[in-house]
Structure 1
Amino acid sequence: MELRVRGDRAVLARSGSDAGHELAPEQLPLGPDLAAALHEWARVAAAMRKAATGQSAALSDPGQDAVGVVSRRGRQLAGRVATEMHMTVQYRDPVTDMATVVVPSPDDGRRRGPRHARGYDQGLFQRSPGEPTPWATGLAVSALMTVVVAVGMLGLVSTLERATQGWIAFAAAVVVSGGLLPSLWLGRRVPIVRWVCFGAAVGLAVSWIGALVLLL
């Protein structure tokens, strides 16, 4: 696969093929963002190529810098194409006409599209490597949540048991516990949040022991 500029549009073709076998980025599974970036780069490269025609020997330092920026951007986009297509891409610089072979990135899962297939920002609550576990703070939070959940559940059960019947209090405890358990299970491995989940889980267990004592 070769990345070229045709006019002011980016095209891709099998290496060595003529213009009749060229494909627009939109015809390949590259995604709209990458296709738009390719065409934007191609327009800039085409404008620079026209400006440099017949004047390459007289380019000033700023002009050479601009050529370098366009070339680096083209190689970067060729790398993204190679990663998306899982194949080697030959990048032909539209200004200097030099060809460069670009291979797919080994970390191709990182570019599988925006915010999917890898759990977008899954490291939001993730500790940095080597960061110590905050045992003191975490256990304090867990203890606080244990007290809050246990007192709340026991207060609910005892109030309903006195005001209505025992089975209504038992049913209410089941409903509350069933509503909390999925959230506690999902958060059990999330740093920071897991301390709250651990404390709430212990509080539920303690409250059920107390509830059974009250109801039986």
Structure 2
Amino acid sequence: MELRIRGDRAVLARPGGADLQEVDPGRLAIGADLAQALHEWARVASAVARAEPGMDAAHVVVTQRGRQLAARLSTVLGTPVRFADPVTGAEIVVEPPLRPPMVRRPPRRREPTPWFTGLTVSLFSAVVVVVGMLALAGTLARETNGWLATIAALVVTGGVAPSLWLGRRVLILRWAVFGAAGGLVLAWVGVLATVL
């Protein structure tokens, strides 16, 4: 591809046998913003070329912007773009950037499982749940009715179960959750023994 200016419009020329075929950038799949930027650059470059000869700063800006647009075009098309500088007439070939090779991440090293600390937390939470459930069920069974103690234990279990289910995969809470779940199972054995 070659980036050129015809009049006040940018054109892309591609080899087509003995001569070059010129194509409007808007007809290619390069994006509307890039095509518009190319045409704006061509209008400015044409105006600078017609201006007085003492505008060196404008010439530098037009050349630099043309190179930038050629680089963007090269990236989008994935092919080298020959840039015909409208100020100096020099031709520059802009290569598309090389794609970096895919870098594989090293496998994550798993942290060791803190068995001693985790089992201690599980045991502590199991004891708290067992003592709490048995205190509730025992007091209700003695003071009122055994069925009321069973209903209260069901309400407590139904209230705690969703939290335990949600917390089972949270790394920090999982040990306490496992202990509380085990404590609920043990507490139900005690509740049923108390009621029956």
TM-score, normalised relative to structure 2: 0.59
Structure 1 residue identity aligned to 2:178: W
Deviations 1:45-99 (A, max 9, x none): 11111225xxxxxx32xx1121011101101111111121111111011222221
Aligned partner of 1:5 in structure 2 is 5
CA distance in 1 between partners of 2:31 and 2:39 (Å): 13
Q: Unpaired runs of 5+ in structure 1?
A: 53-58, 110-146, 182-199
From the superposition, tell whether residues 33 and 209 of structure 1 become closer, same or farther in structure 2 (CA, over 3 Å): farther
Query: Is 1:26 aligned to residue 17 of structure 2?
Result: no
Structure 1 residue identity aligned to 2:164: A
More strand by share: 2
Q: Unpaired runs of 5+ in structure 2?
A: 102-120, 134-151, 187-196
Aligned runs of 1:45-124 on 2, under 5 Å?
45-52=45-52, 59-60=53-54, 63-107=55-99
CA contact (8 A) 1:83 1:108 kept: no
CA distance in 2 between partners of 1:87 and 1:212 (Å): 65
Q: Which has the larger radius of gyration?
A: 2
CA distance in 2 between partners of 1:11 and 1:101 (Å): 16
Structure 2 residue identity aligned to 1:203: L
CA contact (8 A) 2:4 2:12 kept: yes
CA distance in 2 between partners of 1:4 and 1:22 (Å): 9
Deviation of 1:29 after TM superposition, in Å, equals 2.3
Query: Is 1:173 aligned to residue 183 of structure 2?
Result: no
TM-score, normalised relative to structure 1: 0.54
Farther off after superposition, 165-174 or 31-40: 165-174
Structure 2 residue identity aligned to 1:169: V
CA contact (8 A) 1:3 1:89 kept: yes
CA contact (8 A) 2:3 2:70 kept: yes
Deviation of 1:212 after TM superposition, in Å, equals 2.2
CA distance in 2 between partners of 1:36 and 1:23 (Å): 14
Say how many residue pairs are matched.
140
1:210 to 159, 180, 189: 180
Quote the RMSD (CA, aligned, Å). Answer: 3.3
Deviation of 1:103 after TM superposition, in Å, equals 0.9
Deviations 1:157-213 (A, max 9, x none): x8xx75705356324532x248xx5xxxxxxxxxxxxxxxxxx42213322322321
2:36 alignment partner, SS class: helix
